[in-house]
């Protein structure tokens, strides 16, 4: 299959609200030649990443918008515009190949429209973009509601935050301490001709100069190293678990933090890892298996403790709460298309329910680490403030550190170009059963 057609099919599913890119793209990648998979991915992700800008340009170029039944043609146009603006693909190839895909979609009528619009974009692109970019939403590549919310929360960091959201994410590794130290693995990478550096804040983190197939990484299959962002790697250290403790990892999929907890503290009594559906635990199980680790996996709603908790208290709880994922937009650019303003309040409510439900399972003297990959205060500092206000037995513990920014409660990491994702942590101790 033509990589443009495959990217178009995946993007159309996202634009129509039928799927996420991570759900829609893999089946399409299976249909293209191995050499074209990188291009397919680049086109689908790139068009999603810059959709607000490309959409604004398309609106200027089209006499009237496409009908709802022609979302695939609209997606094809965005992919054509992305190639012209953001890739080194020769314009004649970008236009010719993109227009040709209309036949494959059985919409030959669209060829003339696509050809005319893309050729005009090639001729007048700079002039039109200068007009389009007067709108900050287009210039910064974020939907209007999201840009407003980010500006309200992070006025001083807005431009840097948007730039990080629009950048290609780095590939970061986590060295398994059970198999050796980071410096030894860095030396091994250098020997294999793979450029990399030690991460700034995670003692197990290594950032690669360029992404690689995991099969090229020394000892990956043997469990010596995993792929995990630096910000997410901080959870295991912050939890400060000790030998003999029982630990709960609520909302655990895909299991990176579950595994890191077990790598950093081999003498835990038990790790119970809960997630909503059995299908979400498949990845967790695979990761544990590759790393040679053991955890008790439970498919359940973490809030329904009566259905899965055995009544034995936990000394440590990691609540990596469901969130808007606004800190990882660069990894999942379709978040810009899928998220709605009302989602934030609904997610904050869910986070509150999870905190309230899990708190009774924590032993007095035990610690709960709250984490999200969101940059929205409503899901982070505000959520914790509300929980502390209604929970007399909870106290916040300070999170000192060279990373992130101190908030009224907890610490916030914003995504960094060539650095970590956006993430939030708050640490709570239970001082009484109330």
Q: Both 247 and 222 in a single domain?
A: no
Q: Both 283 and 334 in a single domain?
A: yes
Q: Both 240 and 373 in a single domain?
A: yes
Q: Is residue 161 part of a domain?
A: no
Q: Is residue 425 part of a domain?
A: yes
Show the tokens assigned to 428: 């709570």
| DSSP-assigned letter for residue 171 | P
Residue 433: pLDDT over 90: no
CATH number at residue 271: 3.40.50.150
Going by pLDDT thresholds of 50, 70 and 90, the confidence category of residue 63 is confident
CATH number at residue 205: 3.30.70.1170
Q: Where are the alpha helices (DSSP H) in 173-331?
A: 182-191, 230-239, 256-264, 278-291, 305-308
Q: Both 114 and 198 in a single domain?
A: no
> Active-site residue numbers?
373
Are 390 and 383 in contact by the 8 Å Cβ rule? The answer is: no
What does the pLDDT look like over 146-198, one tens digit per residue? 999 999 999 999 999 999 999 999 999 999 999 999 999 999 999 999 999 99
Strand 246-250 to strand 225-227: parallel, antiparallel, or no bridges (unpaired)?
unpaired
Q: Is residue 124 part of a domain?
A: yes
Q: Is the peptide bond before 345 cis (omega within 30 degrees of 0)?
A: no
Q: Is residue 298 part of a domain?
A: yes
Q: Is residue 337 part of a domain?
A: yes
Q: Which of 137, 164, 191 is the endpoint of a domain?
A: 137
Q: Is residue 157 part of a domain?
A: no
- Please tell me the total count of domains within the chain: 3
Q: Is residue 104 part of a domain?
A: yes
CATH number at residue 80: 1.10.940.10
Q: Both 122 and 183 in a single domain?
A: no
Q: Which of 117, 137, 157 is the endpoint of a domain?
A: 137
Mean pLDDT of the chain: 95
Instruction: Calculate ∠ Cα 82-375-209, nearest 5°.
Output: 55
Q: Is residue 160 part of a domain?
A: no
What does the pLDDT look like over 28-49, one tens digit per residue? 999 999 999 999 999 999 999 9
Q: Both 216 and 321 in a single domain?
A: no
Q: Both 276 and 412 in a single domain?
A: yes
What does the pLDDT look like over 70-117, one tens digit per residue? 999 999 999 999 999 999 999 999 999 999 999 999 999 999 999 999
Residue 360: pLDDT over 90: yes
Q: What is the pLDDT of residue 400?
A: 84
Q: Both 177 and 258 in a single domain?
A: no
Distance from C-alpha of 72 to C-alpha of 70, rounded to nearest angstrom: 5
Are 208 and 216 in contact by the 8 Å Cβ rule? The answer is: no
Q: What is the pLDDT of residue 434?
A: 75
Domain of 202, in residue numbers: 172-227
Q: Both 39 and 90 in a single domain?
A: yes
């Amino acid at each position: 299959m033509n990589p443009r057609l495959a990217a178009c099919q995946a993007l159309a599913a996202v634009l129509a609200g039928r799927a996420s890119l991570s759900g829609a793209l893999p089946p399409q990648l299976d249909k293209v030649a191995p050499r074209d998979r990188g291009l397919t991915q680049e086109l689908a992700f790139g068009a999603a990443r810059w959709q607000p800008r490309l959409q604004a340009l398309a609106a200027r170029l089209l006499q009237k918008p496409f009908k709802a039944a022609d979302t695939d043609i609209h997606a094809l146009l965005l992919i054509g515009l992305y190639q012209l603006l953001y890739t080194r693909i020769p314009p004649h190839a970008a236009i010719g190949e993109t227009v040709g895909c209309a036949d494959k979609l059985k919409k030959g009528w669209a060829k003339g429209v696509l050809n005319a619009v893309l050729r005009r974009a090639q001729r007048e692109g700079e002039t039109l973009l200068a007009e389009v970019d007067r709108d900050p939403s287009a210039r910064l590549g974020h939907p209007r509601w999201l840009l407003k919310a980010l500006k309200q929360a992070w006025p001083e960091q807005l431009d840097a935050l948007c730039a990080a959201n629009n950048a290609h994410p780095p590939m970061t590794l986590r060295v398994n301490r059970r198999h050796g130290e980071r410096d030894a693995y860095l030396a091994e990478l250098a020997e294999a001709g793979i450029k990399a550096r030690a991460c700034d804040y995670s003692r197990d983190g290594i950032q690669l100069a360029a992404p690689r197939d995991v099969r090229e990484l020394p000892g990956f299959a043997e469990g010596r190293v995993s792929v995990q962002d630096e910000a997410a790697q901080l959870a295991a250290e912050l939890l400060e678990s000790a030998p003999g403790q029982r630990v709960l990892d609520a909302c655990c999929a895909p299991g990176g933090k579950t595994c890191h907890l077990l790598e950093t503290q081999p003498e835990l009594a038990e790790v119970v890892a809960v997630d909503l559906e059995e299908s979400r635990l498949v990845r967790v199980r695979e990761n544990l298996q590759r790393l040679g680790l053991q955890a008790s996996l439970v498919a359940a709603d973490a809030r329904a403790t009566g259905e899965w908790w055995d009544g034995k208290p936990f000394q440590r709880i990691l609540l990596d709460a469901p969130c808007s994922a606004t800190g990882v937009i660069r990894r999942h650019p379709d978040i810009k298309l899928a998220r709605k303003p009302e989602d934030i309040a609904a997610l904050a409510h869910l986070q509150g329910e999870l905190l309230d439900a899990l708190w009774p399972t924590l032993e007095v003297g035990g610690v709960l680490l709250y984490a999200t990959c969101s940059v929205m205060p409503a899901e982070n500092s505000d959520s914790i403030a509300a929980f502390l206000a209604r929970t007399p037995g909870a106290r916040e513990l300070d999170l000192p550190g060279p990373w992130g920014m101190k908030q009224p409660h907890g610490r916030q990491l914003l995504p960094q170009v060539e650095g970590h994702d956006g993430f939030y942590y708050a640490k709570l101790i239970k001082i009484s059963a109330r």
